[in-house]
Amino acid sequence: MAIRWALLHGHYQKDRSWSNDLLVESAREVNIVRAALSMSESANGTDLVAEIIEDLSNNLDTPSALKRLVDWAQESKKVHNHAGVVSRAIDSLLGLAL
């Protein structure tokens, strides 16, 4: 999953260089999002899903979508239960089965 995340980390229209640092950072971000998805309570996922759809509608802006996911995961350390909504959206919209 970290490899797919790393590939989505850069915009498809830009040249991307591969590095071990990118893979390590991607694995770290995947773990942050997985931890949030496994919590019984999480931040609001409905708005997040709409924002991810907006990012993808904006010329497949996957870097922004991934940043939103990490920000949501960080916020989820504090609040409510929407992990299921976000988990299904990540899988269907980005092909990331976390």
Residues 24-75 pLDDT 10s: 999 999 999 998 888 777 777 889 999 999 999 999 999 999 999 999 999 8
What is d(CA 82, CA 33) in angstroms, rounded to the nearest whole number?
13
Q: What pLDDT shows up at residue 80?
A: 60
For residues 71, 30, 22, 9, the Cα torsion angle rounded to the nearest 10 degrees is -60
- Domain carrying residue 31: 2-9+18-94
What CATH number should be reported for the domain holding residue 45? 1.20.120.640
Q: Which helix (H) or strand (E) holds 9?
A: helix 2-9
Q: What pLDDT shows up at residue 79?
A: 66
Residues in CB range of 28: below 8 A, 6 or more apart: none
Number of CB atoms found within 10 A of residue 88's CB: 12
Structural domains counted in the chain: 1
Is 17 or 50 the better-scoring residue by pLDDT? 50
pTM across the whole model: 0.76
Could you tell me the pLDDT band of residue 91, with boundaries at 50, 70 and 90?
A: confident
